[in-house]
Copies of this chain bind each other. A is one copy, B any other.
Amino acid sequence: MSDNVIAVDWGSSQLRAWQGDKTLALPLGISRLNGLSPREVFEQHIAPWRESAATPVLMAGMIGSDAGWQPVPYLPCPVPLRALAARLCEVADNVWIVPGLRAGREEVMRGEETQLLGATQLAPAGCYVMPGTHSKWVQVEDGGVTGFSTAMTGELHHLLMTHSLIGNGLPAQAEDNARFCQGLERGLAAPSLVSELFRHRAARVLGGLPAASVGEALSGVLIGAEVRAMLAARPLHTITLVGSAALCCRYQQAFACAGVDTRRLCGDRAFLQGIRSLLDARC
């Protein structure tokens, strides 16, 4: 990131910021503020980076939701991504929030739009898959987002491992790519997730699934089911993954099984390119 801007990705669980070669990561997402207001967190952790208000701060993510600093209206799809720059919302002196996008009345995103803006410049494509807590599958045409869908895959994995009978009493989880791949095959083949999930509990009780591998097996089934369902709705031959290396790697395995070619783009790199592009458009 250049020195003349501070980029902030402020989500539900994490706050991350970049300026030049400085980075900051704090567990102060908007759902974990421990009674602080976003403004207080900003004053304490980000404002000290600025020499003056001449340094713009551009923030994206859930910070623009009704549970964040200030609700910033969604831009409705189809929307050209270059329209984002004109719709930044100033919440403090030269501190701006990027608006999220909505598709129809049942799909929303906050944060991914900034990654998408960068991704369309760094790796132009027609379909992006952005794995995460809430995976986004995004259709892009001529630099505009025409629509997208969300899969709650990451959140479901967390819920099942943390709060359900499946995760109850499990030991520390191990890496187990063999179990992950078995899960993938089942998720990709299963007529439905509904009847697959409980089998993780039963197989563990009956001794067929090692207790330390439940997380990997479940991850495989959930990602497989996501890929299967999304491809059933919209057949694709090539997609571009935008996200962390670890998560993109899992999805690449799933797409390989499904016969879909993939390219990969680092999610942070896409995000920072998006911020830079927004900044340039404002100058």
Interface on A for B, CB 8 Å cutoff?
12, 31, 65-67, 74, 102, 105-108, 134, 149-153, 155-156, 159-160, 162-165, 168-169, 191-195, 197-199, 201-203, 205-208, 225-226, 228-230, 232-233
Verify B232–A191 contact, CB threshold 8 A.
yes
CB distance from A160 to the nearest CB of B (A): 7
The 8 closest A-B pairs by CB, nearest first: A192-B229, A150-B198, A106-B199, A105-B208, A108-B202, A151-B194, A159-B159, A194-B229
Verify A105–B198 contact, CB threshold 8 A.
no
Most buried by B among A65, A165, A233: A165
- Pick the contact of A165 from B66, B107, B155, B191 — CB < 8 Å? B155
Q: What residues of chain B lie closer than 8 Å to A160, measured between beta carbons?
A: 159
Verify B203–A152 contact, CB threshold 8 A.
no
| A262–B216 alpha-carbon span in the complex (Å) | 39
- Pick the contact of A108 from B193, B205, B229 — CB < 8 Å? B205
Verify A106–B192 contact, CB threshold 8 A.
no
Q: What residues of chain B lie closer than 8 Å to A102, measured between beta carbons?
A: 202, 206
Verify A150–B202 contact, CB threshold 8 A.
yes
Verify B106–A229 contact, CB threshold 8 A.
no
Verify B202–A151 contact, CB threshold 8 A.
no
> What are 17 of the A-B contact pairs (CB < 8 Å)?
A67-B169, A105-B206, A106-B199, A106-B203, A134-B165, A150-B199, A151-B198, A152-B164, A155-B164, A159-B160, A162-B163, A163-B163, A191-B229, A191-B232, A192-B230, A193-B229, A194-B229
Q: What residues of chain B lie closer than 8 Å to A134, measured between beta carbons?
A: 165, 198
Q: With contacts A192-B232, A229-B192 known, is A206 near B108, CB below 8 A?
A: yes
CB distance from A258 to the nearest CB of B (A): 14
| A15–B74 alpha-carbon span in the complex (Å) | 49
| A227–B74 alpha-carbon span in the complex (Å) | 35
Verify B203–A165 contact, CB threshold 8 A.
no
Closest to A225 in B: B194
Q: With contacts A164-B152, A203-B105 known, is A230 near B195, CB below 8 A?
A: yes
Closest to A232 in B: B191
CB distance from A236 to the nearest CB of B (A): 15
Closest to A203 in B: B106
Q: What residues of chain B lie closer than 8 Å to A155, measured between beta carbons?
A: 164-165
What 6 additional pairs, Cβ within 8 angstroms, besides A155-B165, A192-B233?
A: A31-B168, A105-B207, A151-B194, A151-B198, A152-B197, A192-B228
